[in-house]
Amino acid sequence: MGPINSIREDSEMHANLHLYICADVSRRKEKDGSSMGDLLNIFRGCSRKPGSSDDALSEVAFYLDEDALSVVFSFLPAKAFFRLMLVAKRFHQLSTVPRFLLEQACHNKSASGFFHRDYYAPYRFLLIDPYAGIPANFPDCFNYSDQILASAGGLVFYQRQQYWDDEHGSLCVCNPARRTWWTLPSPRSKKFGKEKRVSAAVIFVYDGNDVAEDYKLICLTEATERPAFQHCGVYDSAANAWTTDEEIDFGLRELEYDHPAVCGETVYWASDCIDYISEPDPYVVSFDTTTKRTEIIPVPEGAVIDSYDDTIKVGMWDDRLPCLIHHSESAATFTLWMLRRNNEGSPQWVKSHEISSTRYVRSFVLSHCSTGLLLVYADGYNAYSYSFKDGESQQIGWLGSLYSKLIPYANTLRQCCKQEVLLRRPEMTSSYLIARGF
């Protein structure tokens, strides 16, 4: 199992491996016009003496038996997996195995790009990982009235109105890579399907083998009458039902609905910073989905917040460490504070990073990508990323709009549900895959 462990520990090696396979497939097709049959034969060639003329992957120093192949393949992003389906029956077989699809999703959590749009303009996709991504024309599957709320584990959750006077709308989930979708049942309150301001977060439910089959979708929207309350809903995919659908106290301030942070069974939101005379200082609020309790956490004392120009949001530094991200327009900086707990369980903020940025920032999000943890932000028309690994910022793309909300997407094979249906019936041919970016 040494080779498998090395692939788990080295994402660059895994990327080089699947690139080498794709290049070798293309080279052989150009040479003799064959599809090479089953890709397993290529890997079996690795057991022969390296450098032999008939060794398809003589440069890859891995000795894999057939039982280990599915483990290796589960590290491939969906884009590479679908490309290799053209030349290997084994990939077709694996695409029908639910357990393999879940393992692949667990191994490909990094963001491959970001959905974004300007108001009701068409959705676009900013690609940051060339080895992953979505079919080139997939954003066209969203209607002009559709609104993406959240994306997690390769699934995209969005609002859909079936017709112009649809009274309640619907909540849907899709997987862009699989081109599948499903409509979630409506809660009793009929909320979340049409409201203009809805926040959504996803909690995956892991089994004993660290594989997540089910999830919880947590939604917030403004309550109708009580100002300190939010209408909160929790959808459980295992039960295919809403287990929570009620108004809960989240504090007097409005919340930053974009990009709530998930830590275990708890979801975090940051408040706005606008200076209301009768309202408390800005804060972070947490919601425990198991107890339905909220906790108001004041911002750090050392965070000097300008009520009109500054913005605070939350993110996850790692799976267990929430953080606060404060952007100061006047100082043109981002400041990160880690949320820790003392022995009594009381929250404590620890300042960790201060990062120079552009002065005007319209959107920002902390995202785990293939190159490490990035702070991705937009000044309006341009998108930038700051790498915590090398401490450098760079421009990563042009958004073409002033108020784009950046929504990270991971390139996985995760099913929407067992009853999912195809957005369009795909024909698994080379022309189909190439035309759509796969």
Contact 174, 181 (CB under 8 A): yes
The Cα-based distances of 16 to 153, 187, 433 in angstroms read 23, 46, 21
Position 209 scores a pLDDT of: 76
Q: What is the pLDDT of residue 49?
A: 39
CA–CA gap between residue 8 and residue 271 (Å, rounded): 38
CATH 2.120.10 positions along the chain are 110-421
Q: Which two tokens stand for residue 387?
A: 């790498």
Mean pLDDT by 10 residues, the chain (438 residues): 40 45 44 40 38 39 62 90 82 89 94 86 89 83 87 96 70 94 94 92 88 94 87 96 97 94 97 80 96 96 81 93 95 96 92 94 93 92 94 92 86 93 55 44
Between CA 193 and CA 176 the distance in angstroms is: 20
What is the CATH architecture assignment of 110-421? 6 Propeller (2.120)
pLDDT on residue 139? 78
Beta strands in 207-332 (DSSP E): 212-222, 229-236, 241-249, 261-263, 266-270, 283-288, 293-298, 311-318, 321-328
CA distance 379 to 358: 7
Q: What are phi and psi of 365, to 5 degrees?
A: -155, 145
The pLDDT of residue 51 is 43
For residues 368 and 318, what is the distance between their CA atoms, to the nearest angstrom? 9
Q: How far apart are CA 387 and CA 393, in angstroms?
A: 6
| pLDDT at res. 1 | 42
Task: Look at residues 259, 303, 263 and name the one whose alpha carbon lies nearest to residue 283.
Answer: 303
Whole-angstrom distance, CA of residue 313 vs CA of residue 39: 46
| Per-residue confidence (pLDDT) for residue 64, from 0 to 100 | 57
Provide the pLDDT for residue 166. Answer: 65
What pLDDT is recorded for position 256?
Answer: 95
Residue 307, both tokens:
């009520």
Residue 52, SS3?
A: coil
From the number of C-beta atoms within 10 Å of its C-beta (0-12, 13-18, 19+), residue 431 rates as: exposed
What is the structure's pLDDT at 278?
62
